[in-house]
């Protein structure tokens, strides 16, 4: 039975890729002083009795480098969209123009930049934790196979494989964090 064990490293990689993709989405939502439609992705609007992503209640555009606009399709939701943006913690003050909500992106001051780098660090740590959780699942599978009769050499081989995979993904998180922090601190 011990020779039959084959750890599904593809599954572990897929799950770790998911953690990296989630981290990139969270990083995209961080404001860097430049307008980006993706900065509104985490904003949820209480529309029709359920939390709805902002891009499902209106069109998000970036008409100029320091301006994001949201053209709300349903006039009755304009107030709710505005409220959701105000309460999102993005630090943006929406301005109404009919069904269009304009979001001027102010220059970031030094203090706000430092706060955003701390938030980015927290997002990165969450990514590392998710990757380590996948690693733990892989190691648990190996331990179970060991108790089912896997040889110690095979156990060491698979543990090394999982650890190398984990290390490479943690390195990707660290590089992404470094790039995001440089982008945030760039004036």
**Residue range 34-76, pLDDT digits in tens:** 677 778 888 889 888 899 898 899 999 988 888 899 999 989 9
Side-chain half-sphere of 171: how many Cα atoms within 13 Å? 6
pLDDT band for 85, please (50, 70, 90 cuts).
confident
Cα dihedral sign, 110-90-130-174: negative
Mean pLDDT of 23-37: 77
pLDDT band for 114, please (50, 70, 90 cuts).
confident
pLDDT band for 173, please (50, 70, 90 cuts).
very high
pLDDT at 2 over 60: no
pLDDT at 3 over 60: no
- Average pLDDT along the chain: 87
Question: At a CB cut-off of 8 Å and minimum separation 6, what does 147 contact?
Answer: none
At residue 22's C-alpha, the angle toward residues 58 and 176, to 5°, is 115
Predicted pLDDT of residue 1: 39
| pTM exceeds 0.85 for this model | no
pLDDT at 15 over 90: yes
The CATH fold assigned to 34-104 is: Gyrase A; domain 2 (3.30.1360)
Q: At what angle do helices 152-185 and 9-29 cross, to 10 degrees?
A: 10
Domain ranges of the chain: 2-27+109-185, 34-104
CATH number for the segment(s) 2-27+109-185 = 1.10.132.20
Count CB neighbours of 37 within 10 A.
16
């Amino acid at each position: 039975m011990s020779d039959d064990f084959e750890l599904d490293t593809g599954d572990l990689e897929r799950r770790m890729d998911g953690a990296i993709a989630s981290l990139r989405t969270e990083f995209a939502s961080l404001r860097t002083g430049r307008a980006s439609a993706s900065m509104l992705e985490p904003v949820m609007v209480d529309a029709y009795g359920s939390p709805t992503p902002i891009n499902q209640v209106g069109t998000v555009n970036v008409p100029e480098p320091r301006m994001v606009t949201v053209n709300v399709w349903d006039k009755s939701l304009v107030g709710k969209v505005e409220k959701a943006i105000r309460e999102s913690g993005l630090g943006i003050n929406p301005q109404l123009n009919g069904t269009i909500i304009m979001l001027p992106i102010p220059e970031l001051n030094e203090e706000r930049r430092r706060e955003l780098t701390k938030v980015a660090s927290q997002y990165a740590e969450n990514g590392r934790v998710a990757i380590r959780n996948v690693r733990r699942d892989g190691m648990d599978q190996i331990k179970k196979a060991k108790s089912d009769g896997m040889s110690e050499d095979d156990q060491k081989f698979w543990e090394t494989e999982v650890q190398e995979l984990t290390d490479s993904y943690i390195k990707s998180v660290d590089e992404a964090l470094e790039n995001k922090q440089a982008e945030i601190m760039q004036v």
